[in-house]
Chain A
Amino acid sequence: MSESQSEAGPEIDVAYVAGLARLELTEQEAARFQQQLGNIVAFVDTLSSLNVEGVEPTAHPAPLMDCFREDQPAAGLQRDHVLRNMPDSALDQVRVPKVVDS
């Protein structure tokens, strides 16, 4: 992760972050996003001068906590509706590349 401080603003290492997000970028995309996101990060960085001492964070704006309901089994999605959207399936299940090396 790059930590260059060549300018006053923060540096976002677009290629590294894209990797975290499982996004493959072309070279042109990486270059263009580096420039655009650099501007955007500099803009949101204006928050750093905001005084939030003693302020609690807000995760969501409605006055709701601990919303529970009875754990009662009910019908789920219909299997054929779900299967029809799968890119690859077999035996009524989704088929994926091997995940675990044996």
Chain B
Amino acid sequence: MLLAGQTTSREIIESVATSISTKNEELGGYLSSDLERALIEAEAADLAGPLGGIPIALKDNINALDHPCTCASHFLENGYLSPYDATVSTRLKKAGAILYGRTNLDEFAMGSSTENSAFRQTRNPHDPERIPGGSSGGSAAVVAADMAVAALGSDTGGSIRQPASHCGVVGLKPSYGRVSRYGLVAFASSLDQIGPLTKTVEDAALLLQVIAGGDDLDSTCIDAAVPAYVANMSDGVEGMRLGVPREFFADEGLDPAVRTQVEQALAQLESAGAELVEIGLPSTSFAVATYYVLAPAEASSNLGRYDGVRYGQRVDEGSGVIEMYRRSRAQGFGPEVKRRIILGTYVLSSGYSGKYYLKAQKARTLIQRDYQEAFRTVDAIVGPVSPAPARRIGKFADDPLQDYLADVYTISANLAGICGMSVPCGYVERGSSQLPVGLQILGPHLGEHTILRVGRAWEMIRDGE
């Protein structure tokens, strides 16, 4: 990401535009883009900023003034132009970045495959018959396919890290409260975080530097100092203690080829001076169930605002306001969104909320404690991102539960509020395709500098730097 005279903002944008015009029809990473406007903004770009003149793609659930924000939903498909900038959009613009493109996602960020987009399927650049992952599948695919320099996504149960792993790019989920959620269309307010998807760990650190920090507009955003991430990332892993959770490597469920890639990376980290320490995260066995109570519950509340009144699609057949709500929502939402709203409503409903929602909140405490305990003895935790490489599109069409179960390694980080990153660590052969595998690095709350350090060290080992 150098603008040091070797190229110009205009040239970068033109290169992105060419790439989009040749690849987006097949890969479908973008839902919309406005390269002409970007070129105009490039002329006036403040190159002195940390992202001066750099085009950054946004997942289509992050508001940017006058841009669409479809959330890949029919509900917001037509005629919604953002009336405001998300805080991350404001910060990117202030740093000189140019916002030009909106990437595809699972509808309202619900999913792990981008199959739940109401508009189109995004395809994995490494094998177009396979998913890019989700829900930030568009952001991961455009970075992987050189259709973008970098992108922002959002992660509620793994939605940055898993697509990053499937597409072979870097994806970082900050700690809860590290980055403002103001302007991110809310899915689960106690789990959501915005984060970068990039080619390199350094680029992720740069983007995080720009977007992190306190915000008066988001009372869940923590007003803690933002360290100088880039300056302190290259210290290497010598002397670091890296926890290896035995539950993440249990025989059942983890694809042997994925295990091999991850274990090889761990061995190389050990040779570089890290100490590998086996740890236990027993709450792994109930993390997915906990999430699929809490996240749908919060979503059912957050998606109550889509009622056809003030924005989005309204279906008014003259039979009164309740029917307007019922029909607008029925026609605006896709099946996965409906399922989660119903599930969330159920676990919050009278007679059931104690059994499910309150119970899950207590389970969440146990999950958070497991990580707090672990980080007393290790600096970071390492393991796989996903039990298998990218699956074929359509494989679990009738059985959403199978996709839920595959969230097992990423999901507890959101419940605990800690930070995590996926860095490419190898490939798995499937047929004639080489499918990327990510190494997941988890760090304590506000420990992004630690996971960036491990990630950068791994990159240097991997690339023989």
Contact = CB atoms under 8 A, between A and B. Distances in A.
Interface string A59-102: 11110100101000000011001101111100000101111000
A62 B359 contact: no
Interface in B262-317: 286, 289-290, 292-293, 300, 304, 307-314, 316
Interface stretch (B8-16, B246-254, B331-339): B331-339
Contacts of A24: 326-327, 329-330
Interface stretch (B39-47, B49-57, B117-125, B362-370): B362-370
Given A56-B365, A81-B84, A37 B339 contact: yes
Specify the main secondary structure of chain B where it touches its partner: helix
Contacts of B318: 97
A23 B84 contact: no
Contact of B80 (A37, A77, A85): A85
A47 B325 contact: no
Contact of B312 (A20, A44, A77, A87): A87
A88 B314 contact: yes
B112 to A, nearest CB: 15
A41 B322 CA distance: 28
A8 interface: no
Interface in A24-55: 24-25, 29, 32-33, 36-37, 39-41, 43-44, 46-48, 50, 52, 55
Interface string B393-436: 00000111100100000000001111000000000000000000
Given A23-B341, A62-B417, A43 B292 contact: yes
B361 interface: yes
Given A40-B343, A47-B356, A61-B415, A22 B84 contact: no
Contact of A22 (B80, B190, B307, B398): B307
A42 to B, nearest CB: 9
Given A47-B286, A47-B289, A62-B176, A25 B338 contact: yes
Contacts of A61: 176, 190, 364, 368, 415-418, 445
B289 A44 contact: yes
B219 interface: yes
A51 to B, nearest CB: 9
Contacts of B325: 22
Nearest to A77: B83
Nearest to A67: B219
B60 to A, nearest CB: 16
Contacts of B190: 59-61
A22 B286 contact: no
A55 B327 contact: no
Contact of A23 (B83, B311, B321, B333): B333
B357 to A, nearest CB: 9
6 contacts: A25-B330, A40-B339, A40-B401, A60-B176, A64-B219, A99-B321
Interface of A: 12, 14, 17-18, 20-25, 29, 32-33, 36-37, 39-41, 43-44, 46-48, 50, 52, 55-62, 64, 67, 69, 77-78, 81-82, 84-88, 94, 96-99
